[in-house]
Amino acid sequence: MKALLAAVLLAVAPAGPPVEPRPFKAPDLVELTALEPGIRLDVRYARSDNFLGQPVYREARAFLQRPAAEALARAHRTLAGKGYGLMVFDGYRPWSVTKAFWDATPDDKKVFVANPARGSRHNRGCAVDVTLYDLATGRAADMGSGYDEASPRSYVTWEGGTKEQLDRRELLRDALAREGFFVYAWEWWHFDYKDWRDYPVLNVPFEEIGRPPAAAPNLP
């Protein structure tokens, strides 16, 4: 798998995000934990315990476009009244990583990954993979399936869990829906922000977010 991923990452280097002619809002990616310190992170794509088996991010960080980030922070504060907080697996995702995911995923599992020809809502900074954590213990809540689990247990319509698991999924959906997020039918943890169409597909690495543009060289 490591050799395959390395080949995929090399293969995407000459390619780029889809060309979209319509006008967009200027990107304004915000780091979630800077905006709301109570949001916890479990960024598995910065580690090897993910479906690819190795890191694809250099840094364990999570970003969203500012309106989506502010909406997520409000949902986190609302959930505190129920004894829960938000734990984020992923937010903004560079396009090259989406391309790597697509190329490394078998055809019968591609419902779980975005087609890079269109770009994903993660690439626009308007999608978040998120779960609940217990404020009293700090532990991630049992939601009935694992993150990135490619099975029917991940579907929103799955009814095979315990009442507690299904109630937690509903609590998460309701809290985020009130703030303008809607859930992806095949993944209980994936939520798209309502204004995702307003932003372009991006391919900016985490380490470059917020960095001022390089100054033009002085001409003799």
Q: Is 113:52 a contact under the CB 8 Å cutoff?
A: no
Alpha-carbon distances, residue 60 vs 31, 150, 185, 193 (angstroms): 11, 23, 26, 22
Find the catalytic residue in 36, 170, 187, 207. 187
Residues 6+ apart with CB under 8 A from 47: 55, 60
* Catalytic-residue membership of 59: no
Please state whether beta strands 84-90 and 40-41 pair in parallel, antiparallel, or not at all (unpaired). Answer: parallel
Helix axes 2-12, 95-104, angle to 10 degrees: 130
Q: Is 129:113 a contact under the CB 8 Å cutoff?
A: no
Q: Which two tokens stand for residue 71?
A: 């909406």
- Taking the CB of residue 13, how many other CB atoms lie within 10 A of it? 9
Active site residues: 187
